[in-house]
Structure 1
Amino acid sequence: MISNHHSIARWVMEARSVLVSARIMEIFCQQKNLLQIGLVTPSRQSLVLEIYCDRQPYIVWRSSYSRKNKNSMDLFPMMIGLHIRDIVMDNTDRRVILSFENGCRLVAQFYGSANVWATDASGVITGSFKNERAVHESSMKIEPGGADMRRYTQDAVDVFESVALFREALSGGFGHLNKILTLEFLHAASLSDITTAREAWRNFINAIYDGAPRIYTDHGDLKYFSLLPLTHHLGRNPHWKEELFTSVNDAFLAYVQLRFFAERLQKKREDLLRASRQRIKKNEHLIMALQEDAEKAATFAAYEQKAHLLNIHLRDVHRGMDKIVVTDVYDEAQNEIEIKLDPILSPQANVEKYFAQSKKLKQSVVKIAERILTIGKENDTLRQIEAQFADAHAIDRKALEKKYDEFVRNGWIKKTESSKPTRAADQEMPVFREFRVHGNWRVFVGQNDIKNDALTFRFAKKDDLWFHARGVAGSHVVLKRDGRSDNPGQRAIEAAAQIAAFFSKAKTSSLVPVAYTERKYLRKPKGAKPGMVVLEREEVLMVPPVEPREIAV
């Protein structure tokens, strides 16, 4: 439901206050169907706008992001450096339009074949995120609406002269309501006459645009996103959990994360069931082969009998003979039996060879029986696993994760790229403490050795300033330049140094020496522990440790 018309409209209303006037720094794709737009706001805040163009598309902004060093492709170069002039909805359907100072637009579509297009001022498509050849230089009909779709949707009800016509329109998706919202409206509204129906409609739309966004889950399973309470559905599902959010974007982010985990869990479930079926089939073939081996091994008695017969007629056996025919004294009919010999071996060696073959086959009978029993038990367990995880809507997460890891250890499931260790440059950027100091400069603080490494060697740019208390353990601190043309003044530098002193083992000292330098003068020795760096040049400030809230602006 995050791609519902009104959900996107509410998101646009929020986005205008955050993203308008932001400058596009880069547009790239590093994950299939996900377009990312790196932005810097007038307050020098770095953001990324994400637009996902596939099944269940979405649009969100995040306060931090990382770009991978590989498999990352730049897109829409004509848009780099432009400032977002406005963000509106298209009146026709679920399209978000970002317009720029030169009249160009980026148009994100969240229905049908979700996509993002770049257009010039006249509406001619100049670039496409997906399937560019099919649409390049064709025209796009755009009807930019107002920033607030509330009135537009409310007034649409005035065309109906009767409740019957209104109900008929609702069944056809009137007002951009999906099935969930339509049921909620019909459940709550009184439609006794058209005047009452119009009033109920206006109140319902007000609730959509004024309500707190929320997510419903069922024992951790994602159910719905909604802009208003789903009273009708909660009445039928009282066990659902409702989580409220202060902003639509925050709710979108939480929804996307829950959906990602749900899809990841379902993928693991599918892999687990597939591996179980394959293992069962393989085991069944193996049991058939073992049963054939068991039949052959059961002939051990015949080899033992031949060994005894050779012993009885040993004086008649001579080296160089390849066979001998003797009377089978173990046969009631006393029939003759032919025994093959190895002409190279002595008579006694031939006897011992038959005894050895008999012993080996006899031992195989026991081992094969044990193996068949073990494999049979394994198949019984695998069938229990299939039954345990057969229902996709009733999954014990911990049990599934545990069983999945067991299959991976056994080699029954191959590790995918996403489960392999990732290079540091390709990992998701962690969240750091962030403060603002004099001049509106942003200062970031690492919270442990791992985050210190990420802050210094992945997050910081080469011209950012790096700070650390000298001679003691402490957090890495980075003052971000954010592409600004001006330089941080002495007051901002001292504030960053004071923060570095505060987040160190010397925080109780009256004065602390703090080293600082540009990031480009840092290096990490090969094999060094997380958090360890070498400074090739530095300056030192003597500053008192100061709690950030006392100097932050």
Structure 2
Amino acid sequence: MFKNYFYLNRAVIELSEMLIGSTIFEVFTQEKETLYFHIPTEENEYRHLVVSINQSEPYLIIKDEHRKARKNVANFYSDLLPDKIEAIQIAQDDRIIKIICTNFYLLIPIRGTISNVIALSEHGEPEFFRKVKRVDETELIADLNSHSYNTAFNIPEINNEIKSLDELKKSFSYLTKDILNELKSRTSTDNFDHQKEILLRILSQINNDPIQIFYTNDLNRFVFVPSGFISLSRDSEVYEYDNYQDALLKLLAVGNKLSREQKLQKEISKHIGKELSIYSNKLNSLQQRVDEGSKEELYRKYADLLLSNMQKIKKGMKEITVDDFTTSETYKISLNDKFSPKQNVDYYYDKARGERINYSKSLELYQSAKSYYDKILDIQKEFENCDDLSKLISLKEKLGLKDQKVIEKNEPQMKFRHFIIENKYHVFVGRDSKSNDFLSTKFAKQNDYWFHARGYAGSHVVLRVDNPKEGVPKNIIKNAASIAAYFSKAKTAGTAPVAYTFAKFVTKRKGMEPGKVMMQKENVLLVKPEIPSNTEQVED
């Protein structure tokens, strides 16, 4: 329930008490869908407000200790900061949070996949944390600004025209399933007046009651509910907190741990099942081979008999019948009609040697496979009784499973060449047409500098500008241009022209070939293609 409208309303009230009058010094991201607002105090130099717009886990939470990563970090709203927080509000009828600062304000709509953080000032252009898809930016901002905002706890006003629970749900879409399930658990009548009374009591509990975190078998996960809720069974230790912030920190901690346990359980179970299936088939095949025994002696007898009867063998014969005078047995032996008598003899001697090696190897493989199969069976028994994350990690190590790099869906995993000029200015270089497009149209921010060798095929290059107010020295721009020339067909030239502009003036029309863009307001520098001496490449 932590992302339910009413709990977000409670979060806004708590955040207002903690943050109004504080100053935002920096906003940055170092992971997908999460922004960090550096809002230090005298006691907590590294305090941050963390805003997640993840579809499954949207939240605003205070972390007293958070250190900014050294690389793979992007700054936002730099030209608006620092600024003081004057108010934190929520829309009276929607999950939209508004943070009002002295010179600008932030709108944080929590709307599934189109959740965002938008900075708006009186004179500047809106700046979006996430690129807006499927909706018009102007219409979106107009819609968000059309709502009424406050810092009070907003109880829905149920007018007399609403006569039933179904009508109530249609009028107030933010009365979510968890609230309605609790309402059903507490009422045994269809009397709407009674249902309204219980509903208002539930909403009051969301605003005022301690918050409990516990695991419930009803939903197979940890939940975040008022202590007075009765609709869910408490099937684990119950953690109770007086405020939203502490409760959410605990939920994220136990939820992440559970998620990791479930992921490990699934991974280990799948691996065990796969290994048992593979080695069961392998053992059956090897068992059959071992049960057949070795034919080394038979093939050697064939070779000896053919050798002693070689005068009877003629090239072109497909078989021969010979007698073994030591046992009085008769053998019919297949021959290769294309072989000479000696070649047929050698064939069976070779086959006898091969059979000895093959049978010995089959025995060895069978014993090895049986040992591994028994080991997996033992691990399976251990796994079936495993209920602890540390034990699961130990089992994973026993199985030799390695961590896999997780690639986020819908997030292009583009790798750019990354350089730092004078230990401060970050330069990113596309590697191919696809990464050039991503670098220029999605990765680059509007005030970044964009470079490309003029008249030559080459990489798109972006010089990151974290704080437009500071400006970028001319020598840094020239250094970035040299890098652009170096990663182009002009690499071997003495000097080369490089066009540059702000990234906001670089566009890509629909239908344009990969790697092709349009630029406006270009400037041109004549530079030497090189990696400047004051530049260091970052190996990610």
TM-score scaled by structure 2?
0.60
What is the distance in 1 between the residues matched to 2:292 and 2:125?
A: 74
Q: Is the 8 A contact 1:303 1:357 kept in 2?
A: no
Match for residue 155 of structure 2 among 146, 153, 156:
153
- The AA in structure 1 aligned to 2:266 is E
Looking at structure 2, the residues matched to 41 and 173 of structure 1 have their Cα atoms a distance apart, in angstroms, of: 42
Q: Does 1:225 align with 2:221?
A: no
Q: 1:305 to 1:333 in 2, by over 3 A?
A: closer
Q: Is residue 81 of structure 2 the alignment partner of residue 84 of structure 1?
A: no
Query: 1:378 Cα shift?
Result: 6.5
Match of 2:14, SS state, is helix
Aligned to 2:257: 261
TM alignment of 1:232-243, pairs within 5 A:
232-233=231-232, 237=233, 239-243=235-239
SS state of the match for residue 298, structure 2? helix
| Structure 2 CA distance for partners of 1:251 and 1:79, relative to 1, 3 Å | farther
Show the 5 A alignment for 1:109-128: 109-121=109-121, 126-128=126-128
Q: Deviations over 1:284-340 (max 9, x none)?
A: 6756875897699854243221344367569x79xxx99999863348445566597
**Equivalence map 1:108-507=2 (5 Å):** 108-121=108-121, 126-132=126-132, 136=137, 139-141=141-143, 142=145, 143-149=147-153, 152-153=154-155, 156-157=157-158, 159-160=159-160, 165-172=163-170, 174=172, 176-188=174-186, 198-218=196-216, 222-233=221-232, 237=233, 239-280=235-276, 282-283=278-279, 298-309=294-305, 328-330=322-324, 332-333=329-330, 335=332, 338=335, 356-371=353-368, 373-374=370-371, 377=374, 388=384, 397=389, 399-407=391-399, 409=400, 413-417=401-405
**What does residue 421 of structure 1 align with?**
none
For 1:274 and 1:118, the matched residues in 2 are separated by 43
What SS is found at the alignment partner of 1:328? strand
Letter in 2 for 1:72: V
Q: Is the contact between residue 213 and residue 251 of structure 1 (CA under 8 Å) also seen in structure 2?
A: yes
Deviation at 1:262, TM superposition (A): 1.9
Counterpart of 2:68 in structure 1 is 67
Whole-angstrom distance in 2 between the partners of 1:180 and 1:89: 21
Output the CA distance in 1 between the equivalents of 2:356 and 2:22.
84
Match of residue 473 from structure 2 = none
**CA deviation string 1:97-147 (max 9, x = no partner):** 111111x22222223325223242469971222224765555332224221
Task: Give, in angstroms, the shift of residue 10 of structure 1.
Answer: 0.7
Distance 1:54 1:124, change over 3 A: farther
Question: How far is the alpha carbon of 1:89 from its aligned partner?
Answer: 0.5
1:127 to 1:293, Cα distance in 2 relative to 1, 3 A: farther
Cα distance in 1 between the residues matched to 2:24 and 2:122: 21
Q: For 1:40, what is the secondary structure of its paired residue?
A: coil
Hey, what does 1:55 align to over in structure 2? 55
Q: Distance between the aligned counterparts of 1:47 and 1:406, measured in 2? A: 40
Shift of 1:84: 1.3
Q: Is the 8 A contact 1:294 1:368 kept in 2?
A: no
How far apart are 1:277 and its partner, in Å? 4.8
Q: Is the 8 A contact 1:307 1:352 kept in 2?
A: yes
The CA distance in 2 between the partners of 1:328 and 1:365, in whole Å, is: 32
Query: Does the 8 Å contact 2:5/2:95 carry over to 1?
Result: yes
1:19-34 alignment to 2 at 5 Å?
A: 19-34=19-34
Indicate the residue corresponding to 1:550 in structure 2: none
Q: Is the 8 A contact 2:309 2:322 kept in 1?
A: no
SS at match of 2:126: strand
Matched residues in 2 for 1:261 and 1:215: separation?
A: 14
Query: In structure 2, do the counterparts of structure 1 residues 97 and 308 end up closer, same or farther at CA, with 3 Å as the change threshold?
Result: same
Aligned partners of 1:297 and 1:365 also within 8 Å = no
Separation in 2, partners of 1:338, 1:175: 86
Partner amino acid for 1:60? I
Q: State the secondary structure of the residue aligned to 2:25.
A: strand
CA distance in 1 between partners of 2:333 and 2:115 (Å): 87
Q: What secondary structure sits across from 2:253 in the alignment?
A: helix
Which residue type is aligned with residue 81 of structure 2?
I
* One-letter code aligned to 2:155: T
**CA–CA distance in structure 1, aligned partners of residues 99 and 194 of structure 2:** 38
CA contact (8 A) 1:38 1:46 kept: yes
**Structure 2 counterpart of 1:115, one-letter code:** S
Tell me, yes or no, if the aligned pair for 1:322 and 1:343 is still in contact at 8 Å.
no
Q: 1:52 to 1:370 in 2, by over 3 A?
A: same
The change in CA–CA distance for 1:337 and 1:82 in structure 2 (over 3 A counts) is closer
- Match for residue 17 of structure 2? 17
1:101 matched residue in structure 2? 102
Alignment partner, residue 533 of structure 1: none
Amino acid at match of 1:87: I
Shift of 1:252: 0.8
Cα distance in structure 2, aligned partners of 1:94 and 1:297:
75
Q: CA deviation at 1:342?
A: 10
Once the two structures are superposed, residues 15-51 of structure 1 have per-residue CA deviations (whole angstroms, 9 ceiling, x without a partner) of: 0111112222221111122221111247764311112
SS of the equivalent of 1:35 reads strand
Is the 8 Å Cα contact of residues 38 and 48 (structure 2) preserved in structure 1?
yes
* SS class of match (2:117): strand
Flag the 1:341–1:388 CA change in 2: closer, same or farther, 3 A: farther
CA RMSD in angstroms comes to: 4.5
In 2, distance between residues paired with 1:173 and 1:19? Answer: 33
SS at match of 2:127: strand
Aligned to 2:426: none
Q: CA offsets per residue over residues 157-190 of structure 1, 9 Å max, x none?
A: 2x0357xx24223454848332222232343368
| Paired letter, 1:20 | I
Deviations 1:402-435 (A, max 9, x none): 322222x3xxx332358xxxxxxxxxxxxxxxxx
> SS state of the match for residue 228, structure 2?
coil
Aligned to 1:487: none
Deviations 1:51-73 (A, max 9, x none): 22223222211001122222222
Q: 1:381 to 1:41 in 2, by over 3 A?
A: same
Structure 1 residues 160 and 168: CA distance shift in structure 2, 3 A: farther
The 3-state SS of whatever aligns with 1:153 is: coil
Q: Please, which runs of 5 or more residues in structure 1 have no aligned partner? A: 419-553
